[in-house]
Amino acid sequence: MQNETLQKINDSVRILKTGDTITGRVLAIENLSIYLDLGPTKTGIIFGAEYQNAKNVLKSMKIGDIISVKVIETENEDGFVELSLRDAEREYAWNNVKEIKDSEKEFVVKIAKVNKGGLLTDISGIPAFLPTSQLSPEKYPRVPEGDKAKILRKLQSFIGQEMKVKVLDFDEKAGQIILTEESKESESIQKAIKNLKVGDVVEGKISGIVNFGAFIKFAMPGDDFENTSEDELLEGLVHISELDWQLIEDPSQFVEIGQRIKAEVIDISQGRVSLSLKNLKKDPWQELGLKNGDIVVGTISRFNPFGAFVQLKGGQEAKIQGLIHISEFGSEVKMKEKLEVDKEYEFQILSFQPQRHWMSLRLK
C-alpha cells in the first residue's frame, strides 16, 4: 500500500514549481536537516529556519514517514529541492487537537497571558483560550461585587502556572481552540452531582459573584439547606443570562453574597452544574398583551453599533427591553443626535415576538 502511495507521489512531482504542496518519504533526519524522497530523480531537504520551525513535528517523525511539504526552491546549488514543513506542522497540530478532543483526555498547558475574559495558552503552537467560566470552581476569581479590575488581577496570578485541561471545542477554519478545566471535587460531591437531574429545583445561597454570573452553594433536592454541612453542599453557576428575564449588565446589582435563593438545574456536564433563576419566574414576555403597531413608552438604556436598547415603562413591561435599529436613523451619528441615554420617548412596535423574546421599535 505504501509503495502504491509513493508511486502516486513520484508521478505527481516530476515537474515542480515554487509554492507547490507535495508529499515525500523521510529518508534521513541528520545534521539539523530532513531529507525526503520525492521520486526517482528528486531529493528534498528541510534545513535552517525551516528545520527549526518543524520541531513540534520532529518529535514524532521517523524514517519512512510520508509527509506533506511546500516547495520553496525547485533546485538549490546542491541539487536539492528546498522544502518547508510549516503547512505540515499546522496539519499535524490540528490533527493532534482533534485526537485530544475525541479522546476527551486531560493534558497540561502553561498559561502565557490573560485577558478580561480568561486565560491564554497554546497547543502545538495553535493559540488556545480558557474562559474564566471554564475554570474549575476552586479557581474562579471571586472578588467583592465582581469588580472587573480585581478579577483581571486575580487572573494574572495564573500566568506561568500549569493547568490540567480538556479541549471543549475548536474551529480549525477560525483558528480557535476553547479549553475547559476539570473540577477537582471530592468523590462524594461527584457522586451527588451524578444524582442531580435537569429540572430539579434546589435551595441555597449566593456564594460568589463574577462578571458573567453568580455562584450558588446548594443542598440536594429534598435536603434541608440549613442542616447540610458545608462540605456536603454542591455549587453551581447561574450565568448572567439566567439571572432574570430582563437584560442584566452587572450581576452584583441583582444578587448579593449570602442571599438565600432557589434555582432550577438546567444543565449538568463535565462536573459542572448550570442553574437558572429566571426559569422559576413568570416570563414577562408571555404576560404582555402587546402587538405590532402599539405605542409604548420607554427609556434609552444604552447604545451599541447596531442600534439602541429601550427599557419599556410600566408593570411587567419594566422587565422588557426592545431595540430600535440604527437603520431607522441612517447612521450612528444621526441616531445619537435624535436619542439620549436615560431619556424617555414614545415608540411604535414594529415587530413583537414573545417566543423569541424580541421586540423591534421605531421612534414615534
Question: CATH homologous superfamily for 289-363?
Answer: Nucleic acid-binding proteins (2.40.50.140)
Overall pTM > 0.85: no
94 has pLDDT over 90: no
**CA 246 – CA 357 distance, rounded (Å):** 10
Q: Quickly state the pLDDT bin for 342 (edges 50, 70, 90).
A: very high
What is the β-pairing status of strands 21-30 and 66-73? Answer: antiparallel
**CA 136 – CA 48 distance, rounded (Å):** 42
Q: Quick check: 28 and 9 in contact, CB under 8 A?
A: no
13 has pLDDT over 50: no
List the chain domain ranges: 2-91, 104-181, 187-280, 289-363
CATH of domain 187-280: 2.40.50.140
**Residue 163, strand partner residues:** 109
- How large is the average pLDDT for residues 186-203? 81
Q: Rg of the Cα trace of the chain?
A: 29
- How large is the average pLDDT for residues 260-287? 89
pLDDT: is 265 or 248 the higher one? Answer: 265
Cα 258 from chain centroid (whole Å): 29
pLDDT, tens digit, 9 for 90 and up, residues 67-78: 888 899 998 988
> Residue 100 — left, alpha, or beta (φ > 0 → left; ψ -120 to 50 → alpha)?
alpha
pLDDT, tens digit, 9 for 90 and up, residues 213-248: 889 999 888 888 888 888 788 888 999 989 998 888
Question: What pLDDT sits at residue 323?
Answer: 93
Question: What pLDDT sits at residue 11?
Answer: 46
Question: CATH homologous superfamily for 104-181?
Answer: Nucleic acid-binding proteins (2.40.50.140)
- How large is the average pLDDT for residues 106-117? 90
pLDDT: is 136 or 281 the higher one? Answer: 281
**CA 194 – CA 188 distance, rounded (Å):** 10
- How large is the average pLDDT for residues 204-221? 88
Q: Quickly state the pLDDT bin for 275 (edges 50, 70, 90).
A: very high
54 has pLDDT over 80: no
159 has pLDDT over 80: yes
| Mean residue pLDDT across the chain | 85
Q: Quickly state the pLDDT bin for 315 (edges 50, 70, 90).
A: low
Share of the chain above pLDDT 90, in %: 37
Q: Give the domain 2-91 fold.
A: OB fold (Dihydrolipoamide Acetyltransferase, E2P) (2.40.50)
DSSP string computed for 278-312: GGGS--HHHH----TT-EEEEEEEEEETTEEEEEE
**CA 75 – CA 16 distance, rounded (Å):** 9
Question: What pLDDT sits at residue 187?
Answer: 63
